[in-house]
Structure 1
Amino acid sequence: MADLQDELNATAEAGELDTTDAATPEPPPISEPAATHSPDHAPDHVADPLLRAHALLAAHPVADGYSGLPWALRALPWYDLELGDSGVDADVPRLRAGGVGAQFWSVHVPDGITGEHVLGATLEQIDLVKQVIGDHTDGLRLARTASETADARNCGRIAALIGPARAAALGDSLATLRALHALGLSSLTLSGTSWAGPGGLSPFGEEVVRELNRLGVLAELSGASEATAHRTLAVSRAPVLFARSGARALRDAPANVPDDLLTAIGTAKGLCLVPLSAEQTGSSIREVADHLEHVRRVAGPECVGISGTYDTSETHPEGLADASRYPHLIAELIERDWPEADLAMLTWGNVQRMLRGADFTARATRERRPRAS
């Protein structure tokens, strides 16, 4: 285990953001905080919250928990994400203007696709993600781990992580899960199957969670039943992700989670990513900030993050129409006196912790657990 621990320490060090040498995204024309202030922190003497937000994001960029870009691109006959494309919400110029350093690219397929067709459509989505990233290497880089995400950031690229995917793509096959992992899948949504349904996880569902842990794939639970969520939190040895979940105490909407589940997420050191969705978190920046504050208070500051849900069918709150608008949300939190340390965890640190935790668990689990059949 000594050699294993050395590897894990190295992984953790590589996953931490190097703010000394890291290439920072180009700031928007309204301010140039990265050029005028130290990137190590947003200076307290800058009175304008928006200027402080840009300065903070130059050092601690947004790790966006959910993008629907792959499916959205299928409808476009032509696109260029690096020059900018009016057909999408989150092209490279908008991501840079918004201070985004990483995105999870969903390979979910619509619920209308069922049965054996789910796997085929999921594979097509993964293939499209790799093609898009390969065609836009000046701005994007494929990543899976915390180290790869930080390396992309340090090279001036936006990290793209593949996932989540629908669990229905697996059928009842752990071999299919391993094949999807080999193609780069980083997270799997545990809902909508016979083994992860309203009654919770079946014995096979628990085996899926253990295999996810062994592979380093994140178990994602937005939209899963409360029984499935609680059982997954109990079974999983790696951090568990809620990629698109606000606080049900503030808005009773699908995929939002109640306070007892938020408390369980905090106890398990999981991560709840609050969506920028008018249906789930309200129609204004202030309402989104209310959800972020509630999750931070109930689950803890190390268990809350942001999910843009851009390029999906979601209607976004006023003032958050596309990925360039993240600084305005951070400015709202600055005005609410959020400590800089909590803001840094919200935007970047908590996702990095989660990815490192999944990697740590996978390395440790492979030492003692053989591949399941």
Structure 2
Amino acid sequence: MKPAASFALAAGLLAGLAPVPLLAAPRAGYPQDVAAAALKAAPVWDGHNDVPEQLRDRRKDLLAGFNFRDTTATADPAQGRVAMHTDLARLRRGHVGAQFWSVFVPASLSDQQAVQAVMEQIDVTRRLIAAYPQDLQLATDAAGVAAAWKAGRIASLLGMEGGYAIGNSLGVLRQFRELGVRYMTLTHYRTTAWADSATDAPQHGGLTDFGRQVVREMQRIGMLVDLSHVSAQTMNAALDVARAPVIFSHSGARAIADHPRNVPDAVLARLRANGGIVMVVTLPAYVSNAVRTWELDRTAQKARLAALHVDEPDTAKTALAAWEQAHPRPRATLAELADHIDHIVKVAGIDHVGLGGDFDGMDTTTEGMADVSGYPDLFVELARRGYGQADLQKIASGNMMRVLKAADAYALAHRADPPIESATAF
């Protein structure tokens, strides 16, 4: 099915996904109408949401008594937990029509523990999807996304965050694909035995030989290579090997916010030839340089106070609280978020940008994007900046649909290729 046909299927979805009144045709000069028309034709496809992590941390993967229709009362101050950012009502208000649910486990686990934990994350996510059959529908390919849209449901896909979870085994990787996992983020915050992370000391100059085999095998079996969280060297090493489009499931532009988690211009420029996509993240430290600077200053201040009051930790804690009161944390803004999209479009092109909120994977949010219901406001901001309906449809879900179809086509063309075999990861 062509992307235009997929968008046509999405039109009926808006009875459930869009409470915002829509006009028959947008009027020139009215950004709200342009944004609404775009979201009617192409609902948002979000690249990364951490509800599965919340289910694990808050509920030990127990769904009994969990109401996913409304999670606004889930704050737990005693545990330092804010209310969840995601539920069915807010997904509908946000025009979210497709969601990659992140099956994430901490990098601190051993290989064996990580494999089991991801299996449990897949299980609880699939059980959550099955528990709400009127709203959610499991999708494992582009056709499945289109079918969910036609049925008026939110297409639910699985994305695995952190390559350590395969236990250095291509066999385990292949089995996760059999369970429906459609992307894997090569690293998380820590460097693995075969890939360098953006936020850890580099060890491999990007990818080891085994890491390159992982990329090749992922693309052979149709699993999207996700380069969020990896170092710039790893990004380039993966692009050197990739023969199908890659994704950044939740990243920003480094030229706008100078965080190592974001994508440098040289890599953005390579996406044109690769056909890949950067799905723009909303986590404040990746959106705003002001937030990033504040966090670095706070980290330095905390270390300084701990050293000054090494024998009086309570004094250090009190002093840090006083510093925070005198230096309030800045907020990332919706305009800054739109700046990332502008920059990616400028360097990589309109066909290479999407949205990957990272909701329920952060404690603070960007102004105007407090939860998953905020996407329409972002589209209005983009329309104010001159984006037309066709380009907004690409950003919403058209680009991601193209990427997934390309990955499916590459896997189909290589289905007769033998599995890559490797006795050891390093």
**TM-score relative to the length of structure 1:** 0.90
Q: What is the CA–CA distance in structure 1 between the aligned matches of 2:254 and 2:26, rounded to whole Å?
A: 35
Counterpart Cα distance in 2 of 1:334 and 1:344: 11
Question: How high is the sequence identity, in percent, across the aligned residues?
Answer: 39
C-alpha separation in 1, matches of 2:245 and 2:363: 26
Per-residue deviation, 1:371 = 1.7
Matched, 1:347 2:334: no
- Whichever residue aligns with residue 151 of structure 2, its letter is C
Q: Is the 8 A contact 2:26 2:33 kept in 1?
A: no
Provide closer, same or farther for how the CA distance between residues 358 and 27 of structure 1 changes in structure 2, counting only shifts above 3 A: closer
SS of aligned partner of 1:223 = coil
1:90 Cα deviation from its structure 2 partner = 1.6
Q: How does 1:322-341 map to 2 (within 5 A)?
A: 322-341=371-390
Contact 1:25-1:99 at 8 Å conserved across structures: no
Distance 1:90 1:55 in 2: 24
What residue in structure 1 maps to residue 145 of structure 2?
Answer: 149
**What amino acid does structure 2 have at the position aligned with 1:195?**
W
Partner of 1:167: 163
Q: 1:154 to 1:200 in 2, by over 3 A?
A: same
Question: Where does residue 223 of structure 1 map in the other structure?
Answer: 229
Aligned 1:1-373 pairs, distance under 5 A: 12=2, 16-19=6-9, 22-26=12-16, 31-33=20-22, 36-37=23-24, 43-45=26-28, 48-74=30-56, 75-76=58-59, 78-82=65-69, 85-87=72-74, 88-191=84-187, 192-197=191-196, 198=202, 199-282=205-288, 283-367=332-416, 369-373=417-421
Q: What is the SS of the residue equivalent to 2:145?
A: helix
Question: How far is the alpha carbon of 1:13 from its aligned partner?
Answer: 6.8
Per-residue Cα deviation, 1:174-219 (whole angstroms, up to 9, x for no partner): 1101111111111111123211123122222111111111110001
Distance 1:356 1:28, change over 3 A: closer
Q: Cα gap change, 1:188/1:15 in structure 2, threshold over 3 Å: closer, same or farther?
A: farther
Distance 1:264 1:291 in 2: 17
Q: Number of paired residues?
A: 354
Q: Which amino acid aligns with 1:370?
A: P
Output the CA distance in 2 between the equivalents of 1:15 and 1:112: 44
CA distance in 2: counterparts of 1:49 and 1:347, whole angstroms: 15
Give the drift of 1:115: 3.0
Instruction: Give the match for residue 7 of structure 1.
Output: none
Q: Is the 8 A contact 1:24 1:156 kept in 2?
A: yes
Question: Which runs of no fewer than 5 residues in structure 1 stay unpaired?
Answer: 1-10
Q: Deviations over 1:146-187 (max 9, x none)?
A: 111111011000011101332101122111011111111111
TM-score by length of 2: 0.79
SS at match of 2:8: coil
AA paired with 2:90?
Answer: R
2:50 maps to amino acid: G
Report if the CA contact (8 A) 1:12-1:356 is conserved. Answer: no
- Segment drifting more, 148-157 vs 109-118: 109-118
Instruction: Give the AA of the match of 1:142.
Output: L
